[in-house]
Amino acid sequence: MSEEEFRGVLARLAGGVVLVSAHDPDDGPAGAPAGMTATAFLSVSLDPPLVLVSVRTGSRMDEVLTEQPLWAVSLLSQEQRVTAGRFAMRGRLSDRLLFREVPHVLGEHTGAPLLKDALAGLECRTESRVPAGDHTLVVGRVLGTHLGGMAGAPLLYYQGAYRHLA
Ligand SMILES: Cc1cc2nc3c(=O)[nH]c(=O)nc-3n(C[C@H](O)[C@H](O)[C@H](O)COP(=O)(O)O)c2cc1C
């Protein structure tokens, strides 16, 4: 199997888009928020409540989560496509500046930014880390949930593009 074939198959798996975030204690004197767009996110266990995100080794978020066990996940709505794009850019200058443009609150359990316009959010503490090829599976215990009013429409990623439900 070639890498192209592998990618081609997985491109046909529709995924919900999330923003993984954390307070990076090493960014500046007071630390700063960090965020990364991800689709490799899933629920793992109900009792205890566990979720998992797969983070590319060497990415900024990988470095942050190595030091910071507290993090959050915002489930993005279809209105947050631009935000998803911004937090997916490699070598971007500053997440601190990006977060200034996006309404958010700092989670009470984690200090991690949760996007106000997201469909829902979770706050987590890392329970275990599993190296897996060029990624690390970060399993988090859910410390708190954030559920807005009526759920809006989710942002999806499919065949290399952001999509909406029909
Ligand atoms: C739709 C989409 C989904 C992504 N999913 C993941 C993911 O699950 N895990 C991951 O590590 N990177 C994922 N990425 C890539 C990261 O968003 C991107 O590499 C990172 O923000 C760039 O920062 P860096 O300079 O620290 O690598 C995804 C990108 C996009 C556009």
Domains defined along the chain, listed by start:
17-145 (2.30.110.10)
Check if the beta carbon of residue 90 is closer than 8 Å to that of residue 131: no
Give nearest CA residue, ligand 1 atom 5: 38
Q: Which of 87, 74, 95 is nearest to 18 (CA)?
A: 74
Q: Could you read off the pLDDT of 61-110 as tens digits, one per residue?
A: 999 999 999 999 999 999 999 999 999 999 898 999 999 999 999 999 99
Tens-digit pLDDT profile for residues 19-52:
999 999 998 889 999 999 999 999 999 999 999 9
Q: How confident is the model at residue 56 (pLDDT cuts 50, 70, 90)?
A: very high
What are the pLDDT digits (tens) for 1-22?
999 999 999 999 999 999 999 9
Ligand 1 pocket (Cβ < 6 Å) reads 17, 36-40, 54-56, 59-60, 87-88, 90-91, 157
* Best residue for ligand 1 mutational test, from 24, 36, 89 (most atoms within 8 Å of Cβ): 36
The amino acid that residue 141 corresponds to is: R
Atom of ligand 1 nearest to the CA of 63: 26
Quick: pLDDT tens for 123-153: 999 999 999 999 999 999 999 999 976 678 9
Q: Whose CA is nearest to atom 27 of ligand 1?
A: 59
The confidence score (pLDDT) of residue 87 equals 98
